[in-house]
Chains A and B, each alone.
Chain A
Amino acid sequence: AQKITQTQPGMFVQEKEAVTLDCTYDTSDQSYGLFWYKQPSSGEMIFLIYQGSYDEQNATEGRYSLNFQKARKSANLVISASQLGDSAMYFCAMRGEYNFNKFYFGSGTKLNVKP
């Protein structure tokens, strides 16, 4: 079975500063994918970034980067130069090797960006 753990229910960050959102996972699969999603108060889940278990380089997408430490089973999201519009819930998710599109989600982290 797969499990995603996000231990930070809520976080504050000052505008223009960087912030790291923690995510650890548990799986016995050799091949898996790790994803981060943003959910504003409107409800829509917005895909941010993907990391494959065999990818040697950490994924980056604009201001988002994923700090992937396979041995520690962690996949932390780093947001650089935070903006007020980054205030939202952030979910870490995983797809296992044989799960097709059954994603496992963490409980989320509520990020508040202060002006």
Chain B
Amino acid sequence: KAGVTQTPRYLIKTRGQQVTLSCSPISGHRSVSWYQQTPGQGLQFLFEYFSETQRNKGNFPGRFSGRQFSNSRSEMNVSTLELGDSALYLCASSLGGGSNSPLHFGNGTRLTVT
């Protein structure tokens, strides 16, 4: 069974630009979550989608948005990039959110904003 696939692996963008990251979950997984990882703030939850609906949202500005398609694939968009958005963005999928259902992570997209 294929794991969670994130594309691209690396991105370099300039301040003010926007970026779209893509995530394909494990087959059969309907929940997709996004996390931002930085050395200073650690792993922070961005949002979660389940059956195309945003089910939970973290404390990030509105410049961060996402969506999920009918095939459970998800995209995350960051507009008007700032230097502080440089981070590893991790996507995770799971079956649904039962208490014992772990998140399965992709390799991440490393975003550098210059």
Residues of chain A whose beta carbon lies under 8 Å from any beta carbon of chain B: 31-33, 35, 37, 42-47, 50, 52-53, 91, 93, 95, 97, 99-108
In the assembled complex, the Cα of A101 lies from the Cα of B42 at a distance in Å of 17
In the assembled complex, the Cα of A35 lies from the Cα of B92 at a distance in Å of 14
Inter-chain residue pair count (beta carbon < 8 A): 70
In the assembled complex, the Cα of A31 lies from the Cα of B98 at a distance in Å of 11
5 closest Cβ pairs, A-B complex: A45-B105, A105-B43, A100-B97, A47-B102, A33-B99
Known: A50-B102, A95-B99. A100 touches B31 (CB 8 A): yes
List, sorted by A's number, 10 A–B pairs whose CB atoms are closer than 8 Å.
A35-B102, A47-B103, A47-B105, A52-B99, A97-B99, A101-B92, A101-B94, A103-B103, A105-B35, A107-B42
Say whether chain B's binding surface is mostly helix, strand, loop, or mixed: strand
Closest to B48 in A: A101
In the assembled complex, the Cα of A104 lies from the Cα of B48 at a distance in Å of 13
Closest to B31 in A: A101
Residues of chain B whose beta carbon lies under 8 Å from any beta carbon of chain A: 31, 33, 35, 42-43, 45, 48, 50, 55-56, 58, 88, 90, 92, 94, 97, 99-100, 102-108, 110
Central interface residue in B45, B56, B102, by most chain A CB within 10 Å = B102
A100 and B50 form a contact (CB under 8 A): yes
Central interface residue in A33, A35, A44, by most chain B CB within 10 Å = A44
In the assembled complex, the Cα of A63 lies from the Cα of B99 at a distance in Å of 23
Closest to B102 in A: A47
Q: Which residues of A contact B55 (CB under 8 A)?
A: 100-101
Known: A100-B48, A101-B48, A101-B92. A32 touches B99 (CB 8 A): yes
A43 and B102 form a contact (CB under 8 A): no
In the assembled complex, the Cα of A35 lies from the Cα of B33 at a distance in Å of 16
Nearest CB of A to B22, in Å? 16
